[in-house]
Amino acid sequence: MNFGIKSAAKKAMTGITGKLFLVSLFALFLRILLISVCVVTVYTLSAKTAQDYINYFSPNLLTTYFIYLVFAVMLLLSLQTAAGIKMGETEYYGICAGAGKAKLSVLFSHCRTLDALKALTLYTTIWIFKLFWLGLMLLPGAGVAAVTFLIYVDLGVSVRVFSVLCITTIFLFAVGFICWYLSIQKYIYAPLISAKSKSFSPRSAIRRSIAVFDCSAINPASVKISLIVPLLLCALIFPAIYVLPYIRMCMASLYKESKKNAKLITHPTENKPVVIHTKKSYNW
């Protein structure tokens, strides 16, 4: 089934491979530029720099607080604009996966204040969920590691016992990381769903992503793992970023295939079921 997804992605990329690469590169450049602004803003708001401002403007602290506010607004605008561009790139790939023609202006279609703020909220929420599950999955390994350290420091153990404890710790960490990676794939469709319809709240987009994931016969992780070898081989000839559009298109094609088994509610309400199992689906 992974072969079918890859074939669909290659078909959707026919004639526009170079364009997709340039669009992804341009979007990446803009995000790096905006994140650089965020880094500079955070550095400017650091303790030492803040104290310099206070000393410079003292005793007029109101001016200093106003500068803090300006920098805070710059930080928020930079972050949400970067999120909006990333969401626009997601919509661009979604349109191409549906055999549509996307314009470059689609990249900026989510950069308006409310849309960009919604995109930032969605990505932030997804990262919070990912970090939560990462901590939960690695908790057993961390517990064994802590016990191993305490036993080694306080009681002292033989080399054989210590080796067994270390191997157990590594095994638990490895299993926990694999389980975490497989579990977070259920959030992968949320940006695609949110990009398709701006009426979806971040919470609704995540819930529908989980619903589509549950209806899918293919785990996105299996598609990504199957692309590792081609990615490494292509990276020997071209920069690795050149094949990233192919990976993004595979994920968009996988979503298009997965939602065929589910009819999503266009205008969600919390009291209605999230998904109805049916062969009917809406177009991207």
Measured at the CA of 143, the angle between CA 139 and CA 147, to 5 degrees, comes to: 170
Q: What percent of the chain clears pLDDT 90, i.e. is strictly above it? A: 14
Whether a cis peptide bond, with omega within 30° of 0, leads into 59 is yes
Looking at the predicted structure, is the pLDDT value of residue 71 above 90? Answer: no
- DSSP letters of 20-33? HHHHHHHHHHHHHH
Domain ranges of the chain: 16-111, 116-186, 188-277
Query: Phi, psi at residue 79, to the nearest 5°?
Result: -65, -45
pLDDT tens figures, 177-200: 999 998 898 898 899 888 887 778
Looking at the predicted structure, is the pLDDT value of residue 279 above 60? Answer: no
pLDDT for residue 269: 46
Q: How far apart are CA 45 and CA 64, in angstroms?
A: 11
- Binning pLDDT at 50, 70 and 90, where does residue 52 land? low
Is 208:193 a contact under the CB 8 Å cutoff?
yes
pLDDT tens figures, 201-229: 888 889 888 888 887 777 788 888 877 77
Here the tokens at position 148 are 């191993």
Looking at the predicted structure, is the pLDDT value of residue 259 above 70? Answer: yes
pLDDT for residue 241: 61
Task: Please say whether the dihedral angle defined by the alpha carbons of residues 17, 18, 19 and 23, taken in this order, is positive or negative.
Answer: positive
pLDDT tens figures, 118-145: 999 999 999 999 999 999 999 999 998 8
Average model confidence (pLDDT) across the chain: 78
